[in-house]
């Protein structure tokens, strides 16, 4: 029997850690992506499902292992990945022909004493787009990327886990914890540390790393433009309705 938990939670504190999860798929091609020997004849793509830090930052100090539940038709559909190096991804490589939902379960380090958290992701093998230009661009894309940005929030973590999350030192080398150099206390009790252990995302995007403050700004601008367009459409529709109502009233008066 496990010993009773005598730790206290750090009240009034929430610590978040961003990460990225998703899939990357490549259609088989004799030149750019040849089919490995022994691959079933009906398999059309190679693909990877992963969980990693934003901008490849280390998440192993809070995420101990990741379990991926694949489609039951795939041999050994339950894959558990652990003992990855800091900065590397928890990932599974496979081949196939069909899309399906992947269950992803994140297990935290023992200091957290928290239950695993489950997320879901749809494996995407084929390009999708809203406009003809997007569809054409995706047809020639070397990879089909379906990535998601997410934040794991630890509300009032236990003292030892709080120490792990906020210490910039390498715990695997026996470093002592605490609010060390590089720790940043944010508004509302949010805590993030700079350096190797960070809750910040990059200022600008770069190839292979699409999530950044720049991406966020561009998305907000796109949403504002879409909202403006919707407002214009609503205004035009109201004007058209008013004109139709006036015409109906006129015809009714002549009857």
DSSP secondary structure, 126-185, as one string: S---SSHHHHHHHHT-S-EEEEEEEEEEEES-BHHHHHHHH--S-GGGT---SS-TTEEE
Q: Are residues 225 and 150 in the same domain?
A: no
Does residue 3 lie within any of the structural domains? Answer: no
In a domain? residue 165 = no
Maximal C-alpha separation, the chain: 92
Whether residue 204 is contained in a domain is answered as no
Please report where in the chains the tokens 């259609």 appear, as a residue.
27
Domain count, the chain: 2
In this structure, the strands spanning 45-53 and 183-185 are unpaired
pLDDT band for position 135 (50/70/90)? low
Question: Is residue 247, in this structure, part of any structural domain at all?
Answer: yes
Is residue 25 located within the same domain as residue 122?
yes
pLDDT reported for residue 138:
57
Distance CA(141)–CA(135), nearest Å, equals 10
The domain that holds 112 is classified in CATH as 2.60.40.1970
Cβ atoms of residues 129 and 138 within 8 Å: yes
Question: What percentage of the chain has pLDDT greater than the value 70?
Answer: 80
Where does 7-142 show beta strands of DSSP type E? 14-27, 45-53, 63-69, 78-82, 90-96, 101-108, 117-122
Looking at residue 192, its pLDDT comes to 39
Q: Which range, of 29-43, 118-132, 165-179, 200-214, averages the lowest pLDDT?
A: 165-179
Q: Kindly report the number of other CB atoms within 10 A of residue 91's CB atom.
A: 18
Q: Which domain holds residue 24?
A: 14-155
Half-sphere exposure of 113 (CA within 13 A, CB side): 16
Pairing of strands 190-193, 14-27: parallel
**pLDDT value of residue 177:** 38
For the entire predicted model, the pTM comes to: 0.72
Q: What's the burial of 161, exposed, middle or buried (CB within 10 Å: 0-12/13-18/19+)?
A: buried
Give a yes or no: residue 5 inside a domain. no
* Average pLDDT of the segment spanning 153-176: 75
Tell me, yes or no, whether 218 and 111 share the same domain: no
**Do both 66 and 136 map to the same domain?**
yes
- Per-residue pLDDT band for 194 (boundaries 50, 70, 90) equals very low
Do residues 77 and 37 make contact, with C-beta atoms less than 8 angstroms apart? Answer: no
Q: Quick one: pLDDT at residue 141?
A: 66
- 162: in domain: no
Domain membership of residue 55 (yes or no) is yes
216 & 146 share domain: no
Is the model's pLDDT at 123 over the cut of 80? Answer: yes
pLDDT at position 174 over 90 = no
Q: How confident is the model at residue 181 (pLDDT cuts 50, 70, 90)?
A: very low
147 and 74 in one domain? yes
């Amino acid at each position: 029997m496990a010993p009773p938990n005598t730790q206290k939670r750090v009240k009034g504190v929430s610590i978040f850690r961003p990460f990225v999860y998703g899939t990357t798929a490549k259609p088989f091609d004799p030149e750019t992506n040849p089919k490995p020997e022994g691959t079933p004849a009906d398999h059309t793509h190679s693909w990877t499902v992963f969980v990693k830090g934003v901008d490849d930052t280390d998440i192993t100090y809070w995420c101990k292992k990741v379990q991926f539940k694949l489609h039951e038709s795939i041999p050994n559909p339950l894959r558990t990945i652990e003992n990855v190096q800091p900065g590397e991804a928890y990932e599974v490589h496979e081949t196939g022909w069909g899309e399906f939902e992947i269950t992803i379960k994140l297990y935290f380090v023992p200091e957290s004493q928290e239950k695993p958290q489950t997320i879901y992701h749809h494996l995407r093998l084929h390009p999708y787009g809203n406009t003809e230009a997007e569809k054409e661009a995706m047809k020639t894309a070397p990879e089909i990327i379906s990535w998601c940005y997410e934040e794991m929030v630890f509300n009032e973590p236990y003292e030892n886990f709080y120490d792990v999350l906020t210490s910039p030192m390498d715990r695997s080398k026996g470093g002592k914890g605490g609010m060390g150099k590089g720790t940043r206390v944010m508004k509302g009790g949010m805590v993030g540390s700079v350096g190797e252990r960070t809750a910040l995302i990059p200022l600008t995007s770069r190839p292979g790393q699409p999530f950044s403050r720049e991406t966020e700004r561009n998305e907000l601008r796109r949403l504002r433009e879409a909202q403006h367009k919707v407002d214009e459409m609503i205004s035009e529709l109201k004007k058209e309705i008013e004109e139709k109502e006036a015409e109906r009233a006129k015809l009714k008066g002549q009857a």
